[in-house]
Amino acid sequence: MKSIVFLLGIASLLSFTSIGTSQSNENKIATYSFVECKYSQCKATAKSTGKQCKHCVSNDGDSNCWQHK
């Protein structure tokens, strides 16, 4: 009988720790890092990562950097 109560106590403690972990993961907000550029940031998507390129464009009115022209 003592072992059943002990196992139920451990199981309940483990369930509380897993609930806390899942809630903290849901509350995370996606953050995007952008660089400060003189004109604007490149609008192209990097092939290696699938994320937006972080290079700056060379001239006013350009939408892509030297690497993605």
How far, in Å, CA of 21 to CA of 30, rounded? 17
More confident residue, 65 or 35: 65
In a domain, 67, yes or no: yes
Q: Which pLDDT score, from 0 to 100, does residue 34 have?
A: 59
| Nearest-angstrom CA–CA distance, 7 and 2 | 9
Report yes or no on 23 lying in a domain. Answer: no
Backbone angles phi, psi at 24, to 5 degrees: -70, -30
In a domain, 24, yes or no: no
Whether residue 20 is predicted with pLDDT greater than 70 in this model: the reply is no
- Model confidence at 58, pLDDT cuts 50, 70, 90, reads very high
> What is this structure's pTM?
0.46
Find the helix or strand (DSSP H, E) in which 15 lies.
Answer: helix 2-26
Q: What is the largest CA-CA distance in the chain?
A: 77
Is 60 among the domain residues?
yes
Give a yes or no: residue 58 inside a domain: yes
Report the alpha-carbon distance of residue 54 to residue 33 in Å, rounded.
9
Could you tell me if residue 44 is inside a domain? yes
Residue 55 forms part of a structural domain: yes
Our count of domains for the chain comes to 1
Range(s) of the domain holding residue 52: 37-69
pLDDT of residue 18 exceeding 80, the answer is no
**Is the pLDDT assigned to residue 35 strictly greater than 70?**
no
